[in-house]
């Protein structure tokens, strides 16, 4: 008696099974990481303070494990340091470090912006209007974490037009670090966020017009005088 023939499984249709528990754990860790990043930007996690995994887990309604995993990611990003048997200390930035970040971002992004201004058609820039509008809406609401996310999304959308994934990744990391508040700094005012967001629309106008001097001036000023963004 011959065994029944089995139909071959195509590479296109076969997807390896992923345990639901693993997916859920990754999802929880990602959500906690997003919440911790928002708390850093908003100043809820204060520079110099020590936070324990169990205490933060209780705050977010999760176990300490995804909190520790998220904090380890933040340690890699330079936001916190791990203290064995104690928890995690939020690192304190300095005005000098913030200025250095602005300088490095300008060195990376200004040449790219100028090249894109010469080569990208106006219709492509017009398609980024919703991204600029999202920053304006978050700014008008005075929602600093939402503004930080929208601001990074706008810059990411612009830089992605260069077709260089490594550039986008490095610029995003620098951008995120620039958004962490300085110790003792007053909370960013809504008016500052609104002014910062307006520079995105002005930049799009200059890019559409291929006005290179204005593009360069706006990008440099945006980094040097932005509301931590």
Answer yes or no: do 128 and 57 share one domain.
no
What is the Cα–Cα distance from 201 to 32, expressed in whole angstroms? 32
Answer yes or no: do 67 and 109 share one domain.
no
What is the Cα–Cα distance from 107 to 83, expressed in whole angstroms? 34
CATH of the domain at 125: 1.20.120.530
What is the Cα–Cα distance from 128 to 143, expressed in whole angstroms? 21
Instruction: Give the residue, 71 or 1, on which the prediction is more confident.
Output: 71
The pLDDT tens digits of the residues spanning 185-203 come to 788 899 999 999 999 999 9
- The H helix count followed by the E strand count for the chain is 10, 3
Q: Determine the structural domain holding residue 73 and report its residue range.
A: 20-90
Q: With 50 as the cut, is the pLDDT of residue 6 above it? A: no
Domain-terminating residue out of 28, 60, 90: 90
Domain-terminating residue out of 67, 90, 113: 90
Question: Whose structure tokens read 């200004």?
Answer: 110
Mean pLDDT of 54-58: 91
Mean pLDDT, the chain, rounded, equals 86
Q: How many domains does the chain have?
A: 2
Q: With 90 as the cut, is the pLDDT of residue 2 above it? A: no
Mean pLDDT of 168-177: 94
- Residue 86: strand, helix, or coil: coil
């Amino acid at each position: 008696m011959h065994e029944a023939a089995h139909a071959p499984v195509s590479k296109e249709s076969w997807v390896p099974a992923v345990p639901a528990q693993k997916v859920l754990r990754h999802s929880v860790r990602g959500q906690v990481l997003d919440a911790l990043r928002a708390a850093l930007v908003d100043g809820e996690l204060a520079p110099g303070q020590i936070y324990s995994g169990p205490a933060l887990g209780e705050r977010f309604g999760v176990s300490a494990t995804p909190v520790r995993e998220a904090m380890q990611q933040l340690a890699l990003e330079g936001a916190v340091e791990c203290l064995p048997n104690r928890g995690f200390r939020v690192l304190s930035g300095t005005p000098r470090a913030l200025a250095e970040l602005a300088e490095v971002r300008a060195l990376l992004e200004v040449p790219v912006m100028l090249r894109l201004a010469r080569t990208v058609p106006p219709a492509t820039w017009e398609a980024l209007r919703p991204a600029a509008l999202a920053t304006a809406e978050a700014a008008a609401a005075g929602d600093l974490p939402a503004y930080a996310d929208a601001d990074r999304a706008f810059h990411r959308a612009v830089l992605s037009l260069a077709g260089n994934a490594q550039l986008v990744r490095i610029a995003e990391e620098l951008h995120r670090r620039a958004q962490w508040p300085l110790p003792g700094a007053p909370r960013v005012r809504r008016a500052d966020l609104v002014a910062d967001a307006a520079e995105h629309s002005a930049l799009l106008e200059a890019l559409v017009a291929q006005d290179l001097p204005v593009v360069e001036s706006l990008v440099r000023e945006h980094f040097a005088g932005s509301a931590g963004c």
